[in-house]
Amino acid sequence: MLLALDLDDTLLHTDKHVSPANLAALDCWLAAGHEVVIATGRPPRSVEPVLPRLLHHAPRIVYNGAQTIVDSEVVYANPLPAADVRWMLEWTARSGETWYIGLEIEDQLFVNRPFAKAGALEVADLLQLWEQPAYKMIFFFPDGRGDIADLMAAVPPTTRTLVTPKFSIVQLCAYDADKSTALLQLLQQRGQSIADVVAIGDDINDIEMVRASGIGVAVENALPDVKAVADWVVPCNDADGVAHAIHRLLG
């Protein structure tokens, strides 16, 4: 079997570490001959620092499913349509909004103006970058998200919008970029079936993956929409829900 694991608020505790209990359970899972795939909204550069050593060689689905990396090689890529990136940048300029906007390009975050944010970023004229493959476009709201109805209405139909109550951001990805699609692509390359996958997640970007997998699992701290499509609900991330799921699977 293959275990598809979200990171933040799922495998990781609130302090962004993998607990000893989760680590021990993962060790048992791998020792039993099963596999793990990481499936996260994070960019590649922020995955490695939080992974325990035993998962360093695990395949990684990143950018909410817009890219898959196996053995340091990109094996699947689904960036935003470049025309959509340009449209949204030009629309924002016309609207007069002074939002903070970022583009994830080549594992680097470019932003339209500086602001306090964890992690490295580079201030740039984003309209000079629109033709480069961008795996996420992010609207940041450091002081809280206000009325975004006009923003949502401006998004082209070939772009997917992700809005979660867990973060004050709006993420744009390619319309068909999601963790489930990326996982299916990986499984097809390996001759494996989604029926043999156990997926565990908590947020809006996990819904498709949890719903499509042979066994879909939500941690207790998951959004109601994730719990609604899950087969199991396990304890919250800080109570080692992943370990509970693994031990149940291993019997």
Closest to 184 (Cα-Cα) out of 4, 10, 44 = 4
Alpha-carbon gap, residue 84 to 17, rounded angstroms: 36
Sequence ranges of the domains in the chain: 2-78+177-250, 82-174
pLDDT in tens, 102-138: 999 999 999 999 887 767 889 999 999 999 999 999 9
More confident residue, 37 or 115: 37
pLDDT computed for residue 115 by the predictor = 82
Predicted structure pTM score: 0.95
With beta carbons less than 8 A apart as the criterion, state whether 49 and 8 touch.
no
Q: Could you read off the pLDDT of 172-206 as tens digits, one per residue?
A: 999 999 999 999 999 999 999 999 999 999 999 99
**Confidence grade of residue 244 (pLDDT, cut at 50, 70, 90):** very high
* Statement: residue 10 has pLDDT above 90: yes
Which one, of 10, 37, 40, lies nearest residue 179 by Cα? 40
How many contiguous H segments (helices) and E segments (strands) does the chain have? 7, 14
What does pLDDT average to over the chain? 96
- What fold characterizes domain 2-78+177-250? Rossmann fold (3.40.50)
Fold of the 82-174 domain? 3.30.1240
| Euclidean distance between CA atoms 92 and 130, whole angstroms | 14
In the sheet with 2-5, reading across from the earlier edge strand, the strands are 73-77, 67-70, 60-62, 35-39, 2-5, 197-201, 215-219, 232-234
